[in-house]
Amino acid sequence: MANPMPSLDAWLAEAHVDPSADRCGMYLFHNGVVRATPKERVRGVSGGVAAADQVGELSFGYDQAKVDAAIEAARAMPGIFYVRAWLNEGMLAVGDPIMLVLVGGDIRPHVIDCLQELVGTLKNTCVTEVEHRA
């Protein structure tokens, strides 16, 4: 694992003392990890490992400028006041963290929608990932 994973507890503690905290009624985390099940089996899309095989490692990288733009777009969504993301990189093993995303906002539907949109954007436009067979 190339980037040490930050503490979820520390992130949440920092969010609670951020100037935006008095407007946030909900915080929601995404903690993506490398799984042994290939993308082809769970999503029907090729990721480098055939559906019948198992993933052993994942080559993972990202474009920081695209990540920054995705975070800024998330912050501009209705009712969203706090956004933070961390992405790993390098050759990752099954069980290693891929990314953490924390979103804070006024009400549950805004926070859920933002988290889903942001994680989707990160996964679909900001990262490169290639599965390697076990």
Give residue-wise pLDDT tens across range 16-57: 999 999 999 999 999 999 999 999 898 888 778 898 899 999
Q: Is the pLDDT of residue 111 over 80?
A: yes
- pLDDT (0 to 100) of residue 2: 73
Considering only CA atoms, which of 87, 95, 72, 76 is closest in space to residue 129?
Answer: 87
Q: Which residue do the tokens 């929601």 mark?
A: 28
In this predicted structure, what is the pLDDT of residue 1? Answer: 54
Tokens standing for 91?
A: 């050759």
Q: What is the pTM of this model?
A: 0.93
